[in-house]
Amino acid sequence: MPDERLPLTDPQMHQAADRFGTPLYAYSAAELDAALNRVRTAFGDARLWYAMKANPNLTVLRRMAAAGVGFECVSLGELRRAVKIGAQGDSVLVNGPAKSDEEYRLGAELGATFILDRAEEVALLPPASRVLVRVNPGLEVSTHDHLATGAERSKFGVRIGEVGSVLEALRSAGHHVRGLHLHIGSAIRDAGDFGAAFGRVAGLRDVTGELEVLDVGGGWGLDADLPGIAARAREAAAVFGAQLWAEPGRYLVARSGVLLTRVVGHKATGRDFTLLDAGMTELLRPMLYGAEHPVHALWTGAPTTSDLAGPACESGDLLGRDVTLPAGGKRGDLLALLDAGAYGAAMSSSYLTRSRPAEVLWDGSDWTVMRRREMAEELWAAEE
Ligand SMILES: Cc1ncc(COP(=O)(O)O)c(C=O)c1O
């Protein structure tokens, strides 16, 4: 059992599930702080931006803001969340491959920095915008295809060969070029991929000249060698004489959160299933890109293997395959899916008119409700 990765104790998890019901996202404030400390230790005085897509809960955002972290926003809704928590324009980045007019407008109103994703945007940006140019380094990276954003075939960024002309176009259009940006993907397994990508971008120095900023994105695996990645990033930033920016999402929040779910029953067809009260509507990552979440059972027994199936009428509604659990789990027994603080609650949906789960935070002495469980009436309110 991966107990060393547990952000909460078994009694804490039992207490949360009994008090708030399941499925439930439970987070540890201490682990949120610890993750940020690990990043700060590795990246030193680099400026940090939280990719809020990983977990946009207002409580998480307020904690990040209080710790001096800025926000990378990729939708109007995310920009509004930044406004809601009082983030100032110089702590907001506006990103996305297909920004809307409203996103440009609100970004400009805030005085945010835009991350340009394609040449066409030069003409779409609000006048005198502050801009980073996202570079597509054209590299295969070690992650699921849906998570790879720096590959030549991915839809993101400006190709290396076009960066010079885009910079020129931006400058002649009166925009303020702050620097370059790259983000090669998420949940990247081989830290060597970062060094390779940073190196490719550093090769643009002759084209760009000195720059104010190099933003190296996020995408670090949870066990990644952060000091190693940070060292490569610093080297690349130094090539441009630039300040280093980093933009992690998952790393900052994943370990702090668990999805608590109860056993509903068992079933054998061609395979053995443990049926749970949580599934794809609460945690989409396994179905969306084959993510494997460590599982911690809160009962004991000899090890046995089964698939973890959710309650949705969808064959793909599996939270794990061939998962080792203690035998004898009964209806109502509690199970925690670990590393669920990122892209868990954020991607939960009301498909099948299921209420999105509550989210609670353990601050070391008590629980705070970060988001209450959705009520059925809220799910059809916009239809009446
Ligand atoms: C541009 C950009 N920056 C940062 C991130 C954060 O990635 P991760 O959560 O893997 O650190 C993402 C994730 O999709 C992204 O698209």
The CA-CA-CA angle for residues 89, 205, 238, to 5°, reads 65
Q: Is residue 212 part of a domain?
A: yes
**Among 99, 116, 146, 186, which is best to mutate for testing ligand 1, by the most ligand atoms less than 8 A from CB?**
186
Q: How far is CA 324 from CA 1, 24, 295, 321, in A?
A: 9, 22, 8, 9
Task: Return the pLDDT at 1.
Answer: 43
In 153-302, DSSP assigns E strands to 158-159, 176-181, 213-215, 243-246, 257-268, 272-276, 295-297
The predicted-structure confidence for 314-363, as pLDDT tens digits, reads as follows 999 999 999 999 999 999 999 999 999 999 999 999 999 999 999 999 99
Q: Is residue 18 part of a domain?
A: yes
The predicted-structure confidence for 45-91, as pLDDT tens digits, reads as follows 999 999 999 999 999 999 999 999 999 999 999 999 999 999 999 99
Q: Verify that 270 and 307 share a domain, yes or no.
A: yes
Q: Verify that 222 and 153 share a domain, yes or no.
A: yes
Residue 302 burial by Cβ neighbours in a 10 Å radius (0-12, 13-18, 19+): exposed
Q: Bridge partners of 28?
A: 362
Gap from CA of 248 to ligand 1 centroid (Å):
6
User: The domain spanning residue 46 has which CATH number?
Assistant: 3.20.20.10
Nearest to 32 by CA among 371, 384, 363, 373: 363
**Global confidence as pTM:** 0.96
Q: Is residue 2 part of a domain?
A: no
The predicted-structure confidence for 91-123, as pLDDT tens digits, reads as follows 999 999 999 999 999 999 999 999 999 999 999
Provide the number of structural domains found in the chain.
Answer: 2
The answer to whether residue 3 scores a pLDDT higher than 70 is: no
Q: Verify that 53 and 23 share a domain, yes or no.
A: no
The answer to whether residue 204 scores a pLDDT higher than 80 is: yes
Both tokens of 240, joined, read 């441009």
Look up the domain containing 372 and give its range.
10-27+254-383
Q: Verify that 196 and 271 share a domain, yes or no.
A: no
Pocket of ligand 1 (CB under 6 A): 51, 53-54, 72, 95, 183, 186-187, 217-220, 247-251, 342
Report the atom number in ligand 1 closest to the C-alpha of 252: 11
